Amino acid sequence: MAKSLDHLKELLGVVSDLGSAAAVLGWDQQTYMPPGGAGSRAMQLATLSRLAHTKFVSKELGEALELAKAEAEGMDPESDEFCLVRKTDRDYQKEVKVPSEWVGEFSRVTALAHQDWEKARAESNFSLFEPRLEKIVSLRREYASFFAPYDHVYDPLLDDFEPGMKAADVKSVFDTLRPRLIALVQAIAERGKPIDDAPLHQSFDEKKQWDFGVEVAKAIGYDFNRGRQDKAAHPFTTGFGTGDIRITTRFDPEFLNTALFGTMHEAGHAMYEQGVDPKLDRTPLATGTSLGMHESQSRMWENLVGRSKEFWSATFPRLQEFFPDQLGETDLGDFYRMINKVERSLIRVEADEATYDLHIMLRFELEISLMDGSLAVKDLPHAWNKKSEEFLGITPPDDADGVLQDIHWSGGMIGYFPTYSLGNLIAAQLWNKINDDIPELEKKIAKAEFGDLLAWLQKNIHRHGAKYEPLDLLKRATGQSLDAEPYLQYLERKFGEIYEL
């Protein structure tokens, strides 16, 4: 009776292998590929993406899936096999609506768009990226049309990254967050004790930054035997199976935070993928259940661990050894306040925790407008600057620090940005539960002992891969539904203490 399921797994393994091959080419494109390779790489990625999609929506796989569904009836709903059939069926019912020709064209256009974005950002000239982005927006609208009718044109896009979530759900979350975040930021600006973070803005040798970041990544649990770190224009994590999960980072020679917290963020993503049960390899279950859950892991290690007093009580002396001239005379308490300084800033990936979600809301509203047609791509820089002033009280001086700062739109990832904020909410809920289950957690972190924390995450989140829907997994891990209150309380408590409000 298991033959149908075995056959399905064989077919899914081929699809997975094609996807992994494309991922290797994508990783190389953003790390080592010479600029002259862009045209050929775009065609290679288009071919692999089209082949993978064709294989997945094939009559053969569809028939194997139907037989496997019949075979799975009566199975333990918690079993890997039952969950695999359920997840494959969900993906198949969605992907079969999308023409393979569209998949190939989308892959080709976004591969070319990456180089256009890099050039436009380097020259701070949106017009160099505008034609390609117009094509991407058109393709994403076309993609949404494959799933009509829908409540909102944004819903099918968001569902790619956060299964089951709709634009109205995100709006509800942001309506809860926004007033209290704005009130917190205003209170800090008006009554908070000022923080001078000048020591973070000095000359920091790139090689030493690299070495310290690698040391931290190893310490928290990133396995370099199954991964590596490289440089990229915009940090990202990618994987080609649970035995090969790679991260990237970038450096600012005049600002310590960029590479350090970028490395911790990407290591959080990578440890999630490295923690997936190897038995799930080469199946649709061998990845995180959603980008919101993924971002909960990266934001947890970057912020709840990486920007905590406990983490730096153990790690700061080592950082001072790397940079004695810059930080040798800096007090630990002062350093902790510096890395948590709240200010209205331009760059999302370097934003403090209190203002970060305002950056996400800005992008969400722009994406909604792009998709419903109320905003033309050519007007995007002006709209970005206007919303930056509205949400953050600051106007970008140029396109590089404004509309061109993120890589996501060049990859066609419209619908991704809300998952960062969802990840913040999930991280706070998980953190409360972890502290309940590990009462000595703060003391362990203060001694640079991260094993119990990582083990909890591996047991309750990582090993399951995509077996469970994201909100189901959250409920299994915490006993709670998605809730913004723990996150807001965390921010208000932390920054109330730091700024003596």
Look up tokens 């090993």; give the residue. 463
Q: Which residues contact 304 (CB under 8 A, 6 or more apart)?
A: 427, 428, 431, 490
Q: Which residues of 18-33 are buried (b: 16+ CB within 10 A; e: fewer)?
A: bbbbbbebbbebbbeb
In angstroms, rounded to a whole number, what is the distance separating the alpha carbons of residues 495 and 501?
8
**Taking a C-beta distance cutoff of 8 angstroms, is the pair 236, 30 a contact?**
yes
Helix (H, G, I), strand (E, B) or coil at 345: coil
Please state, as a whole number, how many other Cβ atoms lie within 10 Å of the Cβ of residue 430: 24
Say how far apart CA 447 and CA 497 lie, in whole Å: 23
Write out the catalytic residue numbers.
266
Which pair of tokens denotes residue 97? 């609506």
Task: Tell the residue number behind the tokens 């077996």, with chain if given.
Answer: 467
Please tell me what DSSP assigns to residue 222.
-
Q: How far is CA 218 from CA 127, 154, 212, 221, 237, in A?
A: 41, 39, 10, 5, 16
Locate all alpha helices (DSSP H) within 284-417, ordered by sequence: 291-299, 309-322, 324-327, 332-339, 353-372, 380-392
Question: What's the CA gap between 453 and 281, in Å, rounded?
Answer: 24
* Residues counted in the chain: 501
Do 137 and 371 contact (CB within 8 A), yes or no? Answer: yes
Distance CA 173, CA 21 (A): 37
Question: DSSP label at 247?
Answer: E
458 Cβ contact partners less than 8 Å away, ≥ 6 residues apart: 275
DSSP state of 303: I
| Tokens read off for 253 | 């020679």
E strand segments, 186-227:
none
Alpha helices in 221-305 (DSSP H): 257-274, 291-299
Contact 128, 119 (CB under 8 A): yes
Interatomic CA distance for residues 267 and 226, integer angstroms: 12
What is the phi/psi pair of residue 377, to 5°? Answer: -55, -40
